[in-house]
Amino acid sequence: MIENSQNDPVLLSIVIPAYNEEKKICEDLSQVYNFLNRQSYGYEVLMVDDGSKDKTYEIGKSLESKYKNLRCIRYEKNRGKGYAVKTGILQAKGEYILFSDAGTCVPYQEVERGLHLLQDGYDVAIGSRILPESKIILKQPLYRQLGSKGFNFIIRWFMGIRMRDTQCGFKVFKREAAHQIFSKNRIDRMMFDIETIFNATKLGFKMKEFPVTWKNDPDTRFNPFWGSIVNLKELFIIKFGK
C-alpha cells in the first residue's frame, strides 16, 4: 500500500496530453478515476489540451465538477505531445508524477509498479512493453513493429540510450526529478521521450524500466514517412544541440 505524505496532500499527479480526443476523453477520465477513487492517498489529474480543433477541452472542462481535483489546461496552438506533457508536469503538485497517453493503452493500476520503484530509490520509472514480464493485449501492425525495432537500434547506437522501450507513454517521476528534467527539455513533439531519458542521464537521475500490460491504440496520428524525417532531425538536436 502506498501511503500519503504528511508534507504534501497530493501524492500522485497524473498528466494526460490530449489532441483531438473528443471521442476518447470521457472514457480516459472514467478509467483514471475508477483507479484513483479506490486509493487512500491524495491525487490530481491534469488533462492538457494541445490546441485541439474539436471539443476535447470543452468536454474535459465540463467534467471538472464531476471528478475530484481534475484540472483541464489549454493553449490555442498545437505544439506537440512533448510540449503538452511538459506543460502538465511543470504545473503538477504531486510527490510523484505520471504521464500517460490518451487512449488508456496501459491500465492505470500499473502505476503502482512504478511507484514502488521510486520508493525504492529510483528517480524515474519507465513503463516497458518489451520486458519478459510485460503483457501485450493488442499488438501494433507489423510495419510499426518492424519500424520500432529499427528505431530502437538507432537509439542504442546513435544516442547511447540502453533502455529497451523508450516510447511507451507511461512514465513515472519523483517531482524534483520531473521538474528538473522537463525544465531542460526543448523537443515539443514525438522525440521528447528520448530527450527526457537523455537529460535524466545527464542530470544523474536513477532510472529503471518496469513491465506493463499494454494494448495498441489504432487511432495513431503518426505519418511513417514525414514523421520519421522529423524524428531524425529532433534526435540530432537532442544529441548535438541547435
Q: What is the CATH number of domain 12-139+165-221?
A: 3.90.550.10
pLDDT at 141 (0 to 100): 57
Q: Which three cell numbers stand for residue 206?
A: 536513477
Separation of CA 55 from chain center: 22
Q: How would you classify the pairing of strands 170-174 and 96-100? A: antiparallel
For range 162-191, the mean pLDDT: 95
b or e along 133-161 (b: 16 or more beta carbons within 10 Å of the residue's beta carbon)?
Answer: ebeeeeebeeeeeebbeebbeebeeebeb
Per-domain residue ranges for the chain?
12-139+165-221
How high does pLDDT run on average in the chain?
Answer: 89
Rounded to two decimals, the pTM is 0.88
3-state secondary structure of 71: strand
Lowest mean per-residue pLDDT among 24-33, 118-127, 152-161, 198-207: 152-161
Residue type, 42: G
Cα 132 from Cα 150, distance rounded (Å):
20
pLDDT at 150 (0 to 100): 66
Separation of CA 61 from chain center: 21
Residue the block writes with cell 531519458: 197
Phi and psi at 42, nearest 5°, equal -75, 150
pLDDT tops 70 at residue 225: no
For range 82-107, the mean pLDDT: 97
Lowest mean per-residue pLDDT among 121-135, 157-171, 188-202: 157-171
